């Protein structure tokens, strides 16, 4: 135990959760920032606890993992600014929910500071078993300001599907950097709202050539819509229109022309890749 404790930022052995105990598991290991040596030691212990027939004396499951990465910054302000710039264009694809942020409450600010966190926002993208999280903090590696991002995977089944990890040896051989790069491409789209196109659609304009005054009018219409609906990111844009469409589908009676157009629209048609 002492040897393992020295090879991780945090290592705790505790009772398993109630759902896990129902499946026969008695204890749980909670590990933060383990070194390669830590994982190798666990693999050695795992190998020693195998029957001759290849079955484990004490079966286990890896049920939760956070793969994290830090972008170093020179100050807290730079970290917050960099995170906001990323979040302004970030949209999550192929999962059930889009981005949202939660402001730190004043009464909990000291608690966040004790954990090395700072800033006003934490961004979440994803669903209950697979989620991308981003926030500014002091790096656990060098204690300097950074933009911290992590992929959180909950449940042994989801972990196996997303990573192929089932055992400690799978974890030891896993390429975290390649996982980050692959999922950045697959799940994270860097986009902006096309305010001109969106504004023309809101006004019902189909003409291609616009005067300078009409361009400004269309863009202003889009900006006002986004302001009224508290839309700050492409993810917010998609979420709001999905909510409006869901409400219209459940509403009985005839629909106005604008409402019919909303039911036919695809929010992504008004987003541009950057």
pLDDT tens-digit readout, 201-243? 999 998 889 999 999 999 999 999 999 998 888 878 888 998 9
**Residue 135 within any structural domain of the chain:** no
**For 29, phi and psi rounded to 5 degrees?**
-105, 130
22 vs 125: which has the higher pLDDT: 22
**Residue 122 within any structural domain of the chain:** no
Q: How far is Cα 187 from Cα 190, in angstroms, rounded to an integer? A: 10
List, for residues 161-189, the tens digit of each pLDDT value.
Answer: 999 999 999 999 999 999 998 888 787 77
31, pLDDT greater than 90: yes
- CA angle, 250 then 97 then 81, to 5°: 130
**Residue 151 within any structural domain of the chain:** no
Q: What is the mean pLDDT of residues 121-143?
A: 87
Q: What is the mean pLDDT of residues 83-107?
A: 62
196, pLDDT greater than 90: yes
112, pLDDT greater than 60: no
User: Where is the domain boundary, 45, 60, 75?
Assistant: 60
**Residue 184 within any structural domain of the chain:** no
Beta strand segments in the chain, E: 8-15, 27-34, 64-72, 90-92, 100-103, 121-126, 130-138, 145-154, 188-193, 271-273
Structure confidence at residue 190 (pLDDT) = 75
SS (H, E, C) 235-264: HHHHHHHHHHHHHHHHCCCCCCHHHHHHHH
Please tell me whether the overall predicted TM-score, pTM, comes out greater than 0.75 for this model.
Answer: no
- Total structural domains in the chain? 2
Structure confidence at residue 269 (pLDDT) = 82
Structure confidence at residue 103 (pLDDT) = 55
**Residue 10 within any structural domain of the chain:** yes
**Residue 267 within any structural domain of the chain:** yes
**Stated length of the chain:** 274
Q: Are 231 and 237 in contact (CB under 8 A)?
A: yes
Q: How confident is the model at residue 153 (pLDDT cuts 50, 70, 90)?
A: very high
120, pLDDT greater than 80: no
Q: What is the mean pLDDT of residues 114-141?
A: 84
Rounded to the nearest 10°, the torsion over CA 42, 46, 48, 50 is 180
Structure confidence at residue 75 (pLDDT) = 93
Q: How confident is the model at residue 123 (pLDDT cuts 50, 70, 90)?
A: confident
- CA angle, 244 then 204 then 197, to 5°: 80
Q: How far is Cα 232 from Cα 164, in angstroms, rounded to an integer? A: 36
User: Considering only CA atoms, which of 131, 129, 123, 128 is closest in space to residue 148?
Assistant: 123
Q: What domain range includes position 266?
A: 192-273
**Residue 31 within any structural domain of the chain:** yes
109, pLDDT greater than 80: no
**Residue 124 within any structural domain of the chain:** no
Q: Residue 16: which H helix or E strand, with range? A: none
Structure confidence at residue 107 (pLDDT) = 43
- What is the separation, in whole angstroms, between the first and last Cα of the chain? 49
Q: How far is Cα 82 from Cα 73, in angstroms, rounded to an integer? A: 8
Dihedral angle sign, alpha carbons of residues 223, 229, 232, 235:
negative
List, for residues 44-88, the tens digit of each pLDDT value.
Answer: 888 877 766 667 777 899 999 999 999 999 999 999 988 888 877
Average of per-residue pLDDT values in the chain:
85
Instruction: Return all residues near 78 (Cβ < 8 A) that are at least 6 apart.
Output: 145
User: Considering only CA atoms, which of 263, 259, 271 is closest in space to residue 93?
Assistant: 271
User: Where is the domain boundary, 41, 60, 79?
Assistant: 60
**For 102, phi and psi rounded to 5 degrees?**
-125, 125
155 vs 48: which has the higher pLDDT: 155
């Amino acid at each position: 135990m002492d040897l393992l404790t020295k090879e991780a930022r945090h290592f705790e052995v505790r009772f398993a959760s109630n759902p896990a105990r129902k499946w026969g598991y008695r204890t749980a290991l909670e590990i933060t920032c383990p070194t390669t040596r830590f994982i190798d030691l666990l693999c050695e212990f795992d190998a020693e606890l195998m029957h001759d027939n290849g079955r484990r004396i004490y079966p286990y499951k890896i049920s939760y993992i956070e793969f994290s990465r830090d972008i170093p910054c020179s100050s807290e302000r730079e970290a917050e600014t960099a995170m906001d710039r990323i979040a302004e264009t970030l949209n999550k694809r192929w999962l059930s929910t889009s981005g949202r942020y939660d402001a730190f409450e004043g009464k909990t600010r000291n608690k966040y500071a004790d954990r090395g966190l700072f800033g006003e926002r934490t961004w979440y993208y994803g669903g209950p078993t697979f989620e991308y999280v981003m926030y500014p903090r002091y790096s656990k590696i060098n204690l300097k300001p950074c933009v911290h991002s992590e992929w959180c995977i909950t449940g042994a089944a989801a972990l196996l599907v997303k990573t192929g990890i089932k055992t400690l040896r799978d974890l030891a051989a896993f390429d975290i950097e390649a996982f980050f790069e692959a999922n950045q491409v697959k799940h994270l789209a860097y986009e902006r709202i096309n305010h001109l196109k969106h504004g023309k659609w809101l006004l019902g304009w189909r003409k291609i050539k616009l005067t300078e005054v009409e361009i400004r009018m269309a863009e202003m219409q889009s900006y006002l819509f986004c302001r009224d609906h508290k839309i700050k990111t492409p993810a917010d844009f998609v979420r709001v229109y999905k909510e409006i469409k869901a409400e219209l589908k459940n509403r009985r009676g005839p629909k106005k022309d604008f409402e019919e157009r909303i039911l036919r629209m695809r929010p992504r048609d008004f987003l541009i890749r950057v």
